[in-house]
Amino acid sequence: MKKDDIIQMKIEDFSTEGLGIGHAEGMAVFVKDTVIGDEIRAKIIKTKKTYAYGRLMEVLQASPDRVEPVCPVARQCGGCQLQAMDYQAQLRFKQNKVRSNLMRIGGFGEELLDRIMGPVIGMEEPFHYRNKAQFPIGTDREGRLVAGFYAGRTHSIIDNHDCALGIKENRQILEMILEHMRSHGISAYDEASGKGLVRHVMIRSGFRTGQIMVCLILNGRKLPAQEELVRKLSGLPGVVGITLNINQDKTNVILGRETRLLWGQEYIEDYIGDVKYQISPLSFYQVNPVQTEKLYGTALEYAALQGNETVWDLYCGIGTISLFLAQKAGKVYGVEIVPEAIDDARRNASLNHFENTEFYVGKAEEVLPEKYEKEGITADVIVIDPPRKGCEEAVLDTMVRMAPDRIVYVSCDSATLARDLKYLCGHGYELKRVRATDMFPMSVHVETVALLTRKSQ
């Protein structure tokens, strides 16, 4: 097989990036914009030793799971990978993805998974679920201002002011900012040259409170006619705060370290269950509040707290899971490497009048051994929600030595989850329950909660 060859094949699976996978001439071929079950014709655009990439030329026979995407630019935009796939089929794919990784990487048997794995938790309305949108601002080939989302694997902006995953208010806010830029000759940032002023517009919203925050991310310290724009934005329904984030580094990192308040308040408030959170521009907060409540509810159910337990929450962020657990626990310790997130966690604990929480700044693999070995702090339950790479072995080892009755593992990557569960189950623990939650409809990503108990119980 070589570049520019035309092949015909059936799509059998998805890659982790959402590319359809088929086989031709003994090689795996990855093709964007396909659905499992499609019979396609594709043009080879790149070849490697054992696999190749193709461009979809024609769908010869559509999969029974293929649907018309809601978004008119779904194929160009890199934000969604599965919009052309029926939502129930998406849920089946995600359930199978988690199950397959647990079997292939974790070594767990089919019979066990049949018994302990619950059905994936989906959404009744799998669109307009995101409470946060980050729109890059740029120019097209004619020099006109554009805003939207990056095309897959590129930093080319697909002009789209009304994302099907975001809130309806995004469009009016974004278009008001673009009109202000046009009226006052304000430039968009150019990544290649490092010049231009407006880099991104970030909009955060509270689904329960209806509060909206607008954050302008600039390659500078002030926007021309800034007061005029602030006056217009502050008059929109729901807007409670307007901030300016300064990022003058030549980088593709979106947010800089300094944020200034232009009007209103520096945060929005929202709820997960009965717990209230303050969310600032730099705060990490789950983007799907409807599913977050279900995800954390599953974690709380698995923790089976009776009211007197000592609980550790590792990789705790702004304390979202910690405070959920604090409703039922005796004492909750949270660990997070980002100092600003710990500040938010402490503030959120105070906001909800929780006096049974304590938060530490540092790496989980350093803080946990130190508190256990030097201070003798143990745990009845440990809850972990690590980044995509999973847990450091030092964390897993310390958890095993602390010997909590239960470990609740919340994962955004079922491959590293399976790897870590294999380690824990080889060191005295038993996998008791597993359930996936669809936090990101229209994408290939899925969150999973697993419960482990000590075998001696």
pLDDT of residue 143: 92
Measured over the CA atoms of residue 8, residue 10, residue 13 and residue 19, the dihedral's sign is positive
> By CB neighbour count within 10 A (0-12 exposed, 13-18 middle, 19+ buried), where does 389 fall?
exposed
The two tokens of residue 286 are 């789950």
Helix (H, G, I), strand (E, B) or coil at 147: strand
Out of 71-85, 197-211, 237-251, 435-449, pick the least confident. Answer: 71-85
Euclidean distance between CA atoms 335 and 385, whole angstroms: 11
Top-confidence residue, 153 or 187: 187
**Which tokens hold the place of 173?**
């806010």
pLDDT band at 457 (very low <50, low <70, confident <90, very high): low
User: What is the Cα–Cα distance from 92 to 334, expressed in whole angstroms?
Assistant: 34
Q: What is the pLDDT of residue 16?
A: 79
Question: 3-state SS string over 330-347?
Answer: CEEEEEECCHHHHHHHHH
* pLDDT (average), residues 45-66: 96
β-strand 268-272 against 258-264: which pairing, if any?
A: unpaired
What is the pLDDT, as a whole number, of residue 365? Answer: 87
State the pLDDT at residue 252: 87
Q: List the catalytic residue out of 71, 163, 412, 425.
A: 412
Tokens 């897959």 -> residue: 152
* Angle, CA 385 vertex, CA 384 and CA 391 arms, to 5°: 75
412 is annotated as an active-site residue: yes
Q: Note the pLDDT of residue 28.
A: 97
pLDDT of residue 160: 94
Cβ(360)–Cβ(367) under 8 Å? yes
User: Would you state the torsion angle of the CA atoms of residues 338, 435, 311, 345, taken in this order, to the nearest 10 degrees?
Assistant: 30
Q: Average pLDDT in the 200-206 region?
A: 98
pLDDT average, residue stretch 328-356: 95
Q: Indicate if the pLDDT at residue 163 is higher than 60.
A: yes
Say if CB 381 and CB 309 are below 8 A apart.
Answer: yes
Per-residue pLDDT, 75 = 87
Q: What is the pTM of this model?
A: 0.93
Indicate the residue type of 373: E
Average pLDDT over residues 386-408: 94
Is the pLDDT assigned to residue 72 strictly greater than 70?
Answer: yes
Q: What's the whole-number mean pLDDT along residues 174-190? A: 97
Identify the pLDDT of residue 153.
72
pLDDT at 438 over 60: yes
